[in-house]
Amino acid sequence: MKRAAALAAWLASLVACVARAADLDVHGYLDCRLVARADERSWVDGGLGKTRFGGGGMAASCAQAGLVADAVLAPALVAHAGLQYQTSGRDEVALLDAWLRWRPVSTTPLRWSARFGAFFPPVSFENDAIGWTSPWTLSSSAIDAWVGAELRAIGAEGTLEWRGERSTATGVFALMRSNDPAGELLAARGWAIGDVVSGLGSRVREPDVYAQGDHEPVPLRFNPYLENDGRVGWYAGATWDVRGVGAFTVLRYDNDADPASRSRGRSPVLSWHTDFWSVGTRTRVGGVVLLGQAMSGSTAIAPSPLFRTHTDFRAAYLLAAWDHGRWRPALRVDAFSTDQLPRSIDDRVREHGSALTLALNWRPRPWLRVTGEALHVRSWRNQREQEGAPARRDDTQLQLGVRLMF
């Protein structure tokens, strides 16, 4: 527990230093867990397991901590930054996002804003708690686990909002750069269920079997936040929020990466042209919050004039959570698949699977959350056969987490 004490002291001293500034709002958390790990080796350790903690046995650690600061620099100008410490893969303190937002005061139903910097694309309905975490479960859905691992918009985003008496309509459009390798994990590893979020400049681990197939040294890591081709990507979306009914969102994302481009250096990182559609909805029935989201897209590379391949990917989830009182159970069902094309490729990689997550949250105080979670993943991925293992796996991960928030 020495690491936990040191980390708590670091967070406390940092907050004490910055809290003296005027118009500054600082929040943070420390997350410690007891885990019964799934049997298959986790993706964070170079395996093909679908859970964050793998390899079997028990483990206890303070898995991560976060710090988020928002400063009002002027009546219409806000600065934001988020930091995270995590232990999976490699101990790391990383910057998750940092941006400036200009939002003038509006006296009409129309309101606009602009954001500049590095930020998460507005994909998630689920991860709206501090540090891009979920208030319902310890493990994010397959969709949000991938978004947290590989996607970050670095550029400019504009939002236009119309506020009616009973509903609000919002449109968003962004231009972005420096995310050309995004999509590689879906092709190399497939989907996963977890809460590991890559910071800017982080190096994400590839599966060892994938590295060995490309005759690369193990462990093989890559930075998903690179600009290789000088192109500008984009996303655009719309949300309709009806008071007393719920919200519906649709988003189109395209990083517009040149699939033939790559980074410079001894170990070049390939660009993946990744695009997808995402739709989601959120509503409430009494004390129950209902979330649903689906994503469908493709990611492609063309490393030589003689070879081009793309991987189609799809995922969806439904989540129901009780949002009242000290005890707050949550249930989520995930389904996911990938398919490498064309079919003429020898040993083309495919997968399909589902996951069931059951969590029980105890919130006796605003600053304390205790969560027990059971995650069961059933998946088929033929890439496992390259490791001499069966393509089909059933894995269960159990976690007991204690989160302190301030």
* Cross-strand pairs, 70: 25, 80
**List of domains in the chain:** 2-405 (2.40.160.10)
- Identify which has the larger pLDDT, 343 or 234: 234
Say how far apart CA 264 and CA 185 lie, in whole Å.
20
pLDDT of residue 5: 47
HEC profile for 127-169? CCECCCECCCCCCCCHHHHHHHHHCCEEEEEEEEEEECCCEEE
Could you read off the pLDDT of 177-206 as tens digits, one per residue?
A: 999 999 999 999 999 999 999 999 889 999
Q: How confident is the model at residue 305 (pLDDT cuts 50, 70, 90)?
A: confident
Average pLDDT over residues 9-29: 64
pLDDT of residue 280: 97
Q: How confident is the model at residue 266 (pLDDT cuts 50, 70, 90)?
A: confident
What residues contact 222, with CB distance under 8 A and at least 6 apart? 181, 184, 203, 204, 206, 269
Q: Does the structure show a pLDDT above 60 at 109?
A: yes
Say how far apart CA 254 and CA 298 lie, in whole Å.
10
Q: Does the structure show a pLDDT above 60 at 132?
A: yes
pLDDT of residue 107: 87
- Identify which has the larger pLDDT, 220 or 175: 175
pTM above 0.95, yes or no: no
Q: Does the structure show a pLDDT above 80 at 11?
A: no
Average pLDDT over residues 286-309: 95
pLDDT of residue 211: 87
Across 104-118, 256-270, 278-292, 348-362, least confident range: 256-270
pLDDT of residue 156: 98
What residues contact 2, with CB distance under 8 A and at least 6 apart? none
Could you read off the pLDDT of 341-370 as tens digits, one per residue?
A: 998 888 899 999 999 999 999 999 999 999
